[in-house]
Amino acid sequence: MKFWRHSLLAAIAFIGISLTVVNSSCTEDECTMLKCRNNGTCVDGYCKCPTGWEGTQCESMASDRFKGRYTGTTEINEAPPAIDSAVIFPLITDSVYIGTVNNIKVYRPVPSASKIGFIRFSRPDDTLMGTISSTDGKVVINDGKYGGRTVTIIIDNGKLVVTSVEKPSSGNETITFVGNKTREW
């Protein structure tokens, strides 16, 4: 009887330890169920999106977050704000062949996922073009206009904020446009 009791106890202990080892040693790959789109790659259960793409599965173009018409105000240095509006649009960087009509090849333009253009209506001759950063979602443009300037374009709490630090001959000027989206592009 003693033998059976010890054997039963040893068998239960063996089964318990075996089940613990089997259940704890098998970990499911977090990337098997996740489908990253647009050449995104899965790392530790999250999609790492290429430049221009964002979302949990890299399903959204970053330029979609910016594009549209905005109404707001422009402020130069500490002067009172003036009513202004702006447009952000995706730049066309490619085209796709869609067919032939009357022996003419027809192509559909493809908007860029990461490159945008910006026009402020109070300065319509100054079209800015830049690339959305994949690290912080900002657009930063450095060009030689207006004595050399740095323009930063961001979406902050649903508002478009464009800051241009310019260096004309009279000293630094900071021009800030803040606006709400009033219409999709």
pLDDT of residue 183: 83
- Spatial contact of 138 and 161, defined as CB atoms under 8 Å apart: no
pLDDT of residue 60: 94
pLDDT of residue 168: 78
Strands (E), 102-169: 104-120, 123-131, 139-143, 149-156, 159-166
Local confidence pLDDT in tens for the 185 residues of the chain: 566 566 666 667 667 666 665 555 556 678 888 999 999 999 999 999 998 999 999 999 999 999 999 999 999 998 999 999 999 999 998 899 999 999 999 999 989 999 999 999 999 999 999 999 888 889 999 988 888 899 999 999 999 999 999 987 778 899 999 999 998 76
* In CATH, 27-58 is 3.40.1350: no
pTM: 0.73
Domain-wise residue ranges, the chain? 27-58, 62-183
Distances (CA, A) of 155 to 38, 49, 67: 23, 19, 11
- Spatial contact of 168 and 52, defined as CB atoms under 8 Å apart: no
* In CATH, 62-183 is 2.40.128: yes
- Spatial contact of 140 and 129, defined as CB atoms under 8 Å apart: no
pLDDT of residue 20: 62
pLDDT of residue 91: 94
Intrachain domains 27-58 and 62-183 with the same fold:
no
Q: For CA atoms 23, 24, 26, 30, give the dihedral sign.
A: positive
Q: Which of 63, 113, 120, 59 is nearest to 87 (CA)?
A: 120
- Look up residue 54 and give its amino acid: E
The DSSP string of 147-164 is GSEEEEEEEETTEEEEEE
Task: Reduce the DSSP state of residue 27 to 3 states and report it.
Answer: coil
pLDDT of residue 6: 60
- Spatial contact of 49 and 37, defined as CB atoms under 8 Å apart: no
pLDDT of residue 86: 96
